[in-house]
């Protein structure tokens, strides 16, 4: 066997379709593209997404608006002004605020916001503080401690299983 003897298998090579070469060829005259119109003409067709001059879908859809956050952080919020009702030098947590009646629901970890004034020194343990809330609590003589929610959840599950 020589290199010149190598040929494709029978049936592997198919001849190309010769269009527009007369009625006997099977694809004469309009070449199988129909009578008239933009898609029957020679050359490439329209670009992807073209809708005949109508504003295309990719331009009609709104951009950079109203996108939802995939994993939003939900906090139970309390303002600094509500903490004035508590006793001085007490420890403030989410459970203590619910017990005191300042908060009614546990929608997530506690976040302290800076609306209002505080004049009581407190030890506040929360997942997040705003800058103004932290400044007001520390100006009143209190302390701010950041508590991780995952750490809280593991300690609760350990106490329940014990």
pLDDT of residue 157: 47
**Mean pLDDT over the full length of the chain:** 87
pLDDT digits (tens, 9 = 90+) for 24-44: 888 888 888 888 888 888 888
- Which domains are seen in the chain, by residue range? 76-161 (3.100.10.10)
> Which residue pairs, CB below 8 angstroms and at least 24 apart, start in 115-121?
115/79, 115/80, 115/81, 116/79, 116/80, 116/81, 116/82, 116/84, 117/80, 117/81, 117/84, 118/80, 118/81, 118/83, 118/84, 118/142, 119/84, 120/83, 120/84, 120/86, 120/87, 120/88, 121/88, 121/89
pLDDT digits (tens, 9 = 90+) for 146-158: 998 665 444 444 5
pLDDT of residue 95: 92
Low-confidence ranges of the chain (pLDDT < 70): 149-162
> What pTM was estimated for this model as a whole?
0.52
């Amino acid at each position: 066997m020589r290199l010149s003897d190598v040929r494709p298998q029978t049936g592997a090579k198919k001849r190309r379709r010769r269009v527009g070469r007369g009625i006997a060829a099977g694809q004469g005259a309009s070449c199988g593209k129909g009578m008239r119109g933009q898609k029957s003409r020679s050359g490439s067709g329209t670009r992807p997404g073209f809708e005949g001059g109508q504003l295309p879908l990719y331009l009609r859809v709104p951009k950079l608006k109203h996108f939802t956050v995939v994993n939003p952080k939900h906090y139970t919020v309390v303002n600094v002004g509500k903490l004035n009702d508590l006793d001085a030098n007490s420890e403030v947590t989410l459970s203590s605020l619910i017990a005191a009646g300042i908060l009614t629901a546990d929608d997530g970890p506690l976040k302290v916001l800076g609306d209002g004034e505080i004049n009581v020194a407190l030890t506040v343990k929360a997942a997040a503080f705003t800058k103004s809330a932290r400044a007001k609590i520390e100006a009143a003589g209190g302390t701010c401690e950041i508590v991780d929610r995952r750490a809280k959840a593991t300690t609760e599950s350990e106490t329940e299983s014990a």
